Chain A
Amino acid sequence: MSLHYDVIVIGAGPAGLSSAALLGDLGLKVLVLDEQEKVGGQIYRNIQGADEGQLEFFGADYREGLQLADNFTKAPVTYENHAQVWQVEPEGWVSYSRNGESKRVRANYILAATGAMERPMPIPGWTLPGVMGAGAVNNLAKEAGLTPEGRVILAGSGPLLLLEASLLVKKGVEIAAILETGPMVPPAGDFPKIAPRLPKALLRWDFLFKGVGMLMDIKKSKAPHYKGVTRIQARGKDQLEHVSAMSGDKELVYPADMLLLHFGVVPNTHIYRQMGCKMVWEKEQRYWYPACDKWGRTNFERVFAAGDGTRVQGGLAARYEGQLAALEIASCLGMITRDERDGLAAPIHKALSHDGLPRPFVDSLYAPKSQDFLFDDDTLLCRCENVTVGEVRKMVAEGVRDVNEVKAITRCGMGPCQGRMCGPALAEIVGAELSLSPDKVGQLNIRPPVKLVSMAEIAAMDLGEGGTAAGNWLLKK
C-alpha cells in the first residue's frame, strides 16, 4: 500500500469536508484523518446519523451539514475515522494513531482543519462532577439524544451560550438560571468600537433576526436571566450542589444539579503550534491563530489551514475557506490553471465576505475583557496537574516571566490535556501580574505527540519511507 498522497486533510468538520470533497473531485489523491467516530466535526456532529426529528430540532444551520457530508461521502477520497494525528512535520509527514497502531504517511500538501473549542475559564469548583461545557451538552444531544435533567444552570457569555439556552428551552428543560457575565448594555467606552460595525451587520438582517428569536424564546421560558454577573462559583463536596454568583451587591445562590459553562470559542491550535506555524494574536478576542494568506497558506509553503482553527468564524465560513484552500492546492499541483482557480474562487470569496458581515459587530458585543480573567488565588487552574492560580502568581512574584517557565516549575500545562484547558487562562494570569498583554508572556511549547499515544506504540510503528525497522527513527535522531 502506498503511503504517499497528494493532500492529507486533518479534520472532518465543515472545512475538512468541503476541501476534501473538492480535492477528490478535481482528481487528487486525498487522505482525510479525523479523530471522531463520524464526520461533521462539532457543529455537524452525527449529521448523517440524525433522524428527521433531530434535523428539525437543531434547525436549518445543522441541516445544511447534511449535503456537505453526503458530498464528501460520495467523493473519491480515503477517509479514516478515529485517527488521532500526533505529529505533523511541515515538510509533509503526518504521524497518527488509529486503533492502537501508529503510522507515518506523506503528502505533497497538508491541510489542517482542526476546528475550535470552548474557551476554558477556571472558576471555583469547575472540576466538580456536574459542571460541564455547554458545548459538551450540545454534543451529547446530537450524538446520543441526551437532554439534561434536574436543576440546570447556564453561565458565561457569548451567543452560543444563549443558543444552547434556547435549545434547552425548546426541549422543555426547566432552566434554573442563566448567568451572563456580559453587561446588559455595553459600557459607553465600547460604543466607538461597536457602533461603526452595526451598519454592515444590518445587511444581514436574517442573521440578526435569528438572534432576536433566540432571545425571545429564552424570555418566554421565564428562566431567571441575569446579566453582568461576576464571581460565578460551583460549590459542593463530591459533586455540584450549588451555584452562586454576584449580581451587583446581591449574592445569587441556586441549588443545582448541572452547571453548563460557556465563555466563547477559541481556535484549537495545538497542531499548528507543534509544527511551528507563525501565530498571530487576535487582540479583541484574546486568542492565537495561525497566520494565513487568503488561500489559507501558512508560513510553510505546503501547509494550509482552514476553518475555525484559524479564526472563529462559524461553520459556513469554514466551508468556504476549505474550498479556497483546495482550489489553491489543486492549482499548485497542476490540476487547474490559475485562471480557473480565480474563476472558481471569486464567488466563494464573495460568499465568505457576505457571511462575515455581522461578525465584527457580534464579536465586539461579546468580546472578552481583561476583567473577565480576575481569578481567586485558590481556584484550580490546571485541572490535570492540580495547580492553582495562586501557585502561578507566586512564581511570577519570584521573577518568572514566561508561561513555559511556569510550566517547568509548577507542571501547569504538563498533564494529559497538554495545556489545552489551562493555557489561555495561564497566559492571562501571568500577563495580568506583569501588567502585560497575554501575548507578551510566551506561548506554551507544544511538542509531539500532541495526542495520548503510548511509547510502545510509537516504538512499534512502521516508519514507511526512510526506514522500516521499528525504532530506527529514534536511532537516526
Chain B
Amino acid sequence: MFKKRNTKNTAVTVTLDHREVSLPGDASVAAGLLGQGEILSRISPASGEPRSPHCLMGVCCECMMEIDGVKRQACMTSPKAGMVINRGLNGEEINNPADTDELNSKLNEENPK
C-alpha cells in the first residue's frame, strides 16, 4: 500500500506478533509497520473487525496495540530495540492479565447477559 523512499534510517529489531521484524528507528511504530506492508493495526474489540491506522496523529486510537505489555497508540510510540508488539489479530486476548479474566468471569456469573 506504501512505497518507501530511501533514507539513511537506523533500523531497530522488534518482536511483532511473536516474530522479529526490523523497523526504521526514526519514525513511529505505526509508520514503520505501514512501510513494511503491515496494514492491519488491531481487531476492534466492539465489532470484531480488522482496522488500520486512520489519522496518524494521535486522535483516532485505531492503531492501539499492546506495546511492551501496555495498550498504546502506535503512531505516538517510537520503536526501541527489543520492543514487544502484539496486535492480537488472530483474536487472542491482549493486555488482559489472568486476574482480570477471573474478575470478568465472576462478574459475568453475577450479571448474566
Question: Which A residues contact B (CB, under 8 angstroms)?
Answer: 35-37, 42, 49, 51, 82, 84, 100, 117-118, 120, 127, 129-133, 135-137, 139-140, 143-150, 238-239, 257-258, 268, 380, 383-386, 415-417, 420-421, 452, 454
Contact = CB atoms under 8 A, between A and B. Distances in A.
Contacts of A268: 59
Contact of B28 (A37, A51, A135): A37
Given A82-B76, A117-B55, A145-B4, A415 B61 contact: yes
A144 B31 contact: yes
B31 A146 contact: yes
B46 A35 contact: no
B1 interface: yes
A117 B47 CA distance: 25
Given A145-B5, A148-B2, A420-B59, A136 B71 contact: no
B28 A143 contact: yes
Contacts of A137: 56
Given A139-B56, A140-B34, A146-B4, A35 B76 contact: yes
Interface of B: 1-7, 24, 26-28, 31-32, 34-35, 39-40, 44, 46-47, 49-62, 64, 70-73, 76, 78
A258 B73 CA distance: 22
A228 B43 CA distance: 35
A contacts with B: majority SS: loop
Contact of B1 (A37, A120, A130): A130
Contact of A117 (B1, B7, B59, B71): B59
25 contacts: A49-B26, A82-B76, A117-B55, A117-B59, A120-B60, A129-B40, A130-B1, A131-B54, A133-B55, A135-B56, A135-B57, A143-B27, A144-B28, A144-B35, A145-B5, A145-B7, A146-B5, A146-B31, A147-B3, A239-B50, A257-B1, A383-B54, A384-B44, A386-B46, A416-B64
Nearest to B30: A140
Contacts of A37: 28, 76, 78
A238 B43 CA distance: 11
A42 B56 CA distance: 10
A127 B44 contact: yes
Contacts of B46: 384-386, 415
Contacts, number: 130
Q: Which of B28, B50, B59 has the most CB of A within 10 A?
A: B59
Contacts of A385: 46
Q: Which of A35, A129, A137, A416 has the most CB of B within 10 A?
A: A129
A133 B54 contact: yes
A267 B18 CA distance: 39
Given A135-B55, A384-B46, A144 B4 contact: yes
Q: Which of B46, B47, B60 has the most CB of A within 10 A?
A: B60
Contact of B31 (A35, A49, A143, A452): A143
Closest CB pairs A-B (n = 9): A145-B5, A144-B27, A129-B52, A386-B46, A136-B56, A144-B31, A416-B61, A146-B2, A386-B47
